[in-house]
Amino acid sequence: MRNILLLTLLSWTCLAQEHVNLKDLAAFQHPSNNWTIEGAVQAAYSDTSLQVATGQGILVNTLRNGKYKRSDDLIFAFSHGDIHLMFDFMLPKKGNSGVYLQGRYEVQLADSWTKKQLNFGDCGGIYERWDDARGKGNEGYEGYAPMQNASKAPGLWQHMEIDFQAPRFDANGKKIQNAIFKKVILNGILIHENLEMLGVTRGAVSLQEVASAPILIQGDHTQVAFKNIQYETYDKPSVSMGPIKYDYYTGKFTEPIIGSAKPVESGKLDKLTYKVIKAKNDYLIHYQADLDVPETDTYEFQSYWTGSGVVKVDGKELNQGAHWYSEMVSSKTELTAGKHKLEVIHVKDFPWGPQALGLYVKRIGSHPVALHERTSLLDPEAVGMIEVKANAEPVFQRSFAMHQGKKKTHVIHVGDPSGMHYSYDLKQGALLQVWRGPFLNATQMWENRGEPQTSEPLGVTVTLDGKFPLILDHQAQADSTELVYKGFRVKDGRPIFMYHWPAGNVMVEDFIRPNAANTGLERTFSFKSASSIQSASELVLGNSYHGISSINATLIGLQGQSYFVQWDGRIGAILTPKQGLKQQRIPVQGNEVSYQLIW
Amino acid sequence: MTIACILLAFATFAQKSNSKTEQDYYEIKTLPIPKEIYLEVGGLATMPDGRLAVSTRRGEIWIIENPYQTVNHQVHYKRFASGMHEVLGLAYRDGAFYCSQRGELTKITDTNRDGVADLYEPIYQFDLSGNYHEYTYGPVFDKNGDMLVTLNLAWVGFGEGKFAKWRGWLVKIHPNGTLEPFAAGLRSPAGYSINQDGDIFYGENQGDWVGSGRVTHLAKGDFAGNPGGLKWAKEPNSPFRLTLEEIQDNGAPMYEAAAKVKNLKLPAVWFPHAIMGISTSDILQDTTRGKFSPFPGQYFVADQGQSKIMRMGLEKVNGVYQGFCINYREGFQSGILRERFGLDGSMFVGMTSRGWGSTGKDEFGLQRLMWNGQMPFEIQDIQAKPDGFELSFTQAVDVNSVKKAASYALRSYIYKYQHQYGSPIIELKNLKITGVEVSADKRKVRLVIEGLRRYFIHEFKLEGIRNEAGEPLLHETAYYTLNQIPSGGKLAVQATHRLEEAAVVKAVAVRPTKKSAVISDAEAMALLKKHTCLACHAKESKVVGPSYADIAKRNYTDKQILALVYKPNPQNWPDYATEMAPMSHVPAADVLKIASWINGLRNKALLNHD
């Protein structure tokens, strides 16, 4: 299980390598004056326009022209074929824009916040195609809704990641392979995977598909802002390998060391494969080949094997050791242009475990090159998901949960038919995370022995600080608070958590439920004690390492505007408990205090 | 002579085929489970109103109406509670449920009486490291209303208790929420209970420091053998002090270590691994006064991996519990974790096998075991005597059969006490009966035995014993753990006590005509059953261990198979949860026959595929 997880994660970790410079508009072709570079933008979730502040780093469509002109679309200066593109974007309420890969295949950006029924025109949708010849009312066809609604509220920064493969053409310019959205990930949620484009989507710059063309951002509908635009394209040449000479040895090799052994068989291969031999174990195979390196650069060698092995280039050991086939072993090395000597030794001295040998070379700016036959490396095993649903009524489920890299053991996840859910640390009376979408993936807890015993959110998640938010007046918020957990009572299917808070000498009830507008969760602390709350206390509304945006008297944006906190407007204070950390507090008065989390 | 052999063999065969089976006496009833419910049973609680409550590994409590299926076979499920974390124990008391989650002993109440719990209160929060193997079991209430809870060790390639407090312990939680550490040395204490005298017994799985499954009586301050949780013996409220360094790890039997470590508690009864289960779970004393079984006051010990229930009889000798175990009923649908008596004296049997594997093929299940009132011919009891044992039977024995030496095969052995997982059988010795005395009512047989060894497991195979109707025992093999040899009068062995040494014993052996011939499937199955291999392996399908067909694919030689049977290498089969025990007590000749049969499966497979 652990191994399977590793493999799945790998494909997500390759980072885009080029940053689009947003100190000015030089990265774009003839930008209209709708587009400006700004230093900050913000909006309340109910605002239909963005407030901007001058500076650098943010690309904003201010919609100054106000009226549709094709020239308001923003075209990037560079052209691309295959591309891995990532960016942050912010929409106002009812915002609408889109990113056209190669100017032709649109991933829709739109305010689809809290929508239940989605179509191709919702955020993350692949827009429909259009053909007037199909007749009135039937022009639109195809188009793909995202697999789930992964939108955040207007006025929050959202994150998009697109892995796009350009169409392929033969020498005569005939298309031989459709364009493919290999992955589209919105706010951490996979919304499309390996979706083939049978043609360009509506509003493309041309009906003609091509190998290379620039990105286009739709600029005519509403305001929209972008930042952190990064990408990797794959047009650099990479390594190629000459014929392989292999030598096969039998015997009990525990290390990839040939010693004085004599090969029982030798021969030539085009690609690495263990399948050249019949033995299942107790063998050593030594592969040698020339590696043609086109340009001097850093090359990463990613190997997989069951057993033990070594990868050497020009006699220098790169990857080595005993591993299971699902573990990637990786090292980077600087190679000069020209021929290099590649050596791989693979041994397997035990009968269990699948045979496997794989080796990829990855250069930034080019796709990984497999030096092995496909059949020499197994596909990882997939396990069907065990989902806990909260469609009909509120649901709660305890499990372990990861929070900021640590495993928490006394966690309850609470799901709600509104689609807004949270994880809560029962020991600390603390919110760990909130999310919107389907409820809970319990596979890692309920499949087989469930060795991780964790479960994970299935929707767009905001990670919170995991701390008890009540503190005595003017005291610092501790990482952990002494609390006596008294259990929870269930009201209309939802738990109300009960604590004795010794510092305040008071019984506290913590009730989290959807707010009246169903736009977020409302958290209410009430104090159940004959003497009520004894000392002056404060409520920490949030901690943020990326500043606090005060949007209006009752609304702030936290953690780089990744979520909102709203409250009744009582006057609070923003503190700086330590370098880089901002903390919003409000005073506690009476027997009850509440705030809302909106994302 | 040849004719005699054939006749004898035929006679034995004929008799076996007519013999009674467990299901003729001990009936299993299945409670149907709606398809959408994952009733992975972690706990059972019989309710005084005729309902049954079941807690599950998916964190729910279900209340079942009509669980006794008296008229209508259908039963009715209502979800009472949910959302908890792997609930492996459940009790019902004064209108509330008490259960263990991994990290909490929880009281659950339905305050508005709408049939669904609305108050979840922690009585105690347990420390956890996040290791999945830190299971929490219980509670079991004692007569004072205190709750016993057992805390499994973490698994990091061995059992480890140091990551979270009181792991490896049995603790008492008082109703006011205070914890009293009670006994330590536990590894995987999935089942435990309190007998009529208020004494606590727990079942342990074979593992590191545990040579074989066993049941141990725990008094306060006892250390049951696995040192994983000894870090907490340094705590001020620990009832004893002991460190890992004080425990010998030289492979000598546990009783030798116990001679040096005062708190080290020897098991009351060893359950020989793979023969009497592979993962001992719940223990329940028959308090139904004859409703549940013909053995009132004896104990019924479940096994998770082998999906069966065994019987245990205890006596106290010199103030120490010891006794015997014997098979009772196999063939349950999944791996048994829980046993509880119903109001009618039948036993609810709750099961789950996810991640653990079991002989019963279902992922989970709920069944009921009941005695139909017919009296089987069984060993009633075994008691230690100064010079041997006294066996009692449920029916009068055929005196002729009792007087034949060939009716018995007795031997004794013990296991290693070591940090390695499991143990081979060691110090195996055949025993000789030097005298037999039958009581006047022919229900009791006293055996005088040469070479009794204190602390050892004494195996009784009573293949030849018959009742007066000529029927064999329903279960002929029992294992007595002789912690103490009682003092008192020995039997003065006279001529009338001598056994007949019959020549027929030798005649039974039938040699294969051709040495190289691979035995038939039927012969193989007989051998595999005899040596209990089938408890974990099947010919074609994965059970607890790999199928014989899969083993065949490994291309081992017969001799390699023999070596692996005697000294298994669990790394060879990393996909299997349960490690194989060394089966070095199986004669090499039999293993080699089985090995050649296994390798024959490979040839067959090849032939079929070509």
Q: Which chain A residues touch B104 with a CB distance below 8 Å?
A: 410
Residues 67-86 of A with CB under 8 A from B: none
Q: Do B125 and A427 touch (CB under 8 A)?
A: yes
Task: Quote the tokens at residue A74.
Answer: 């923003």
Contact A487 B356 (CB under 8 A): no
- Angle formed at CA A451 by CA A450 and CA A453, multiple of 5 degrees: 65
Task: Tell me phi and psi for residue A532, to 5 degrees.
Answer: 55, -165
- Does residue B560 belong to the interface with chain A, where contact is any CB pair within 8 Å? no
Query: Inter-chain contact B122–A407, Cβ cutoff 8 Å?
Result: no
Q: Do A94 and A221 meet the contact criterion of CB atoms below 8 Å apart? A: no
Q: Which residues of A touch B117 (CB under 8 A)?
A: 490
- The domain limits of chain B are 23-371, 380-507, 521-609
Do A352 and B572 make contact, defined as CB atoms within 8 angstroms? yes
Q: Note whether B20 contacts A: Cβ–Cβ < 8 A.
A: no
B122 touching A, CB under 8 A?
Answer: yes
Distance from CA of B125 to the nearest CA of A (A): 9
Do the chains contact at B130 and A450, CB–CB below 8 Å? no
Q: Does B573 touch chain A (CB under 8 A)?
A: yes
Give pLDDT tens digits for A197-246: 999 999 999 999 999 999 999 998 899 999 999 999 999 999 999 999 99
Q: Does A440 touch chain B (CB under 8 A)?
A: no
A412 vs B contacts (CB less than 8 Å): 83
For the residues A42-52, what does the mean pLDDT come to? 96
**A-chain residues within 8 Å CB-CB of B118?**
489-491
Question: Per CATH, is B23-371 categorized as 2.120.10.30?
Answer: yes
Give me the helix-helix angle, B558-566 and B588-609, nearest 10°. 130
Nearest-by-CA chain A residue for B130? A409
Of B116, B555, B574, the CB nearest to A353: B574
- Residue A539 distance to chain B (closest CA, Å): 26
* Nearest Cβ partner for A485 among B58, B84, B122: B122
Paired tokens of A170: 């033969």
Tens-digit pLDDT profile for residues A458-497: 999 999 999 999 999 989 999 999 999 999 999 999 999 9
C-alpha span between B202 and B215 (Å, rounded): 6
Task: Please give the helix or strand (H or E) that residue B18 lies within, else none.
Answer: helix B2-18
d(CA B57, nearest CA chain A) in Å: 8
CATH of domain A387-598: 2.70.98
Q: What is the ipTM of this complex?
A: 0.90
The per-residue pLDDT for B584 is 77
Query: What is the helix (H) or strand (E) element at residue B401, kind and residue range?
Result: helix B399-402
Tokens of B301: 């010990």
pLDDT band at A529 (very low <50, low <70, confident <90, very high): low
More confident residue, A528 or B429: B429
With an 8 Å Cβ cutoff, is A450 touching chain B? yes
What's this model's pTM, rounded to 2 decimal places? 0.89
A422 CA: distance to closest CA in chain B (Å): 14
pLDDT at residue B85 in the model: 98
What tokens were used for A24?
Answer: 């000015």
Best of A399, A410, A484 to mutate (most B CBs within 10 Å, chain B): A410
> Are A410 and B128 inside 8 Å of each other by CB?
yes
CB A163 within 8 A of CB A107: no
Q: Does the beta carbon of A455 lie under 8 angstroms from any beta carbon of chain B?
A: no
Residue B563 · residue B572 · CB < 8 Å: no
Mutate to test the interface with B, among A443, A446, A455, A492 (most CBs of B within 10 A): A446
CB-based contacts of B197-203 (< 8 A; 24+ apart in sequence) = B198/B142, B198/B143, B199/B321, B200/B148, B200/B170, B201/B268, B201/B283, B201/B299, B201/B321, B202/B150, B202/B170, B202/B283, B203/B280, B203/B281, B203/B282, B203/B283, B203/B301
Minimum distance, in Å, between the CA of residue A213 and any CA atom of chain B = 50
Q: Does A353 touch chain B (CB under 8 A)?
A: yes
**CATH dotted code for B380-507:** 2.60.40.1220
Give the gap in angstroms from C-alpha A315 to the nearest C-alpha of chain B: 33
What's the pLDDT at B18?
Answer: 59
Identical topology for domains A17-233 and A240-376: yes
Chain A contact present for B106, CB below 8 A: yes
**Residue A498 corresponds to which amino acid?**
M
Closest CB to B125: pick one of A350, A353, A485: A485
Domain A17-233 is of which CATH architecture? Sandwich (2.60)
On whether the CB atoms of residues B314 and B325 are closer than 8 A, the answer is: no
Instruction: Identify the pLDDT of residue B502.
Output: 57
Q: Are B26 and B322 in contact (CB under 8 A)?
A: no
Class of domain B521-609: mainly alpha
Contact criterion met (CB < 8 Å) for A410 and B125: yes
- For A107-122, write each residue's pLDDT tens digit: 999 999 999 999 999 9
Q: Which of A427, A449, A491 sits opposite B355 (nearest CB)?
A: A449
Answer with the residue of higher pLDDT: A14 or A407. A407
- Neighboring chain A residues of B59 at a CB cutoff of 8 Å: 397-398
Q: Do B132 and A452 touch (CB under 8 A)?
A: yes
How far is A531 from chain B, CA to nearest CA, in Å?
Answer: 24
Smallest Cβ distance to B132: which of A353, A453, A485? Answer: A453
What DSSP designation does A96 have?
Answer: E
Residues of chain B with pLDDT below 50 are 1-17, 503-515, 605-610
Q: What is the pLDDT of residue B507?
A: 37
- Rounded to 5 degrees, what angle do the CA atoms B199, B205, B208 make? 115
> What's the gap in Å between the CA of B570 and the closest CA on chain A?
10
Q: Using CB atoms, pick whichever of A409, A485, A488 lies closest to residue B130.
A: A409
Contact flag B102-A407 (C-beta cutoff 8 Å): no
CB contact under 8 A, A495 and B120: yes
* B-contacting residues in A 271-300 (Cβ below 8 Å): 280
Please report, for chain A, the start and end positions of each structural domain, with discontinuous segments joined by +.
17-233, 240-376, 387-598
Phi first, then psi: what are they for A376, rounded to 5°?
A: -85, -10
pLDDT digits (tens, 9 = 90+) for B335-365: 999 999 999 999 999 999 999 999 999 999 9
**CA A397/CA B82 separation, integer angstroms:** 7
Residues of B with CB below 8 A from A495's CB?
120
Distance CA B367, CA B69 (A): 11
Distance separating alpha carbons of residues A163 and A159, to the nearest angstrom: 14
Cα dihedral B547, B553, B557, B560 in deg (nearest 10): -50
Tell me what pLDDT residue B15 has: 44
Predicted confidence (pLDDT) per residue in A132-187, tens digit: 999 999 999 999 999 999 999 999 999 999 999 999 999 999 999 999 999 999 99
Partner-chain contact B354 A449, CB within 8 Å? yes
| Residues of chain B neighbouring A407 (CB-CB closer than 8 A) | 130
- At residue A190, φ and ψ (nearest 5 deg) are -70, 120
B193 in contact with A, Cβ within 8 Å: no
Question: Strands A158-165 and A179-186, how do they pair?
Answer: antiparallel
Which class in CATH covers the domain with range A240-376? Answer: mainly beta
A72 to chain B, minimum CA–CA distance in Å?
Answer: 53
Tell me how close the Cα of B560 comes to any Cα of chain A, in angstroms: 13
Percent of chain A with pLDDT over 70: 95
Burial B262-296 (b: 16+ CB within 10 A, else e): ebbbbbbbbbbbbbbbbbbbbbbbbebeebbbbbe
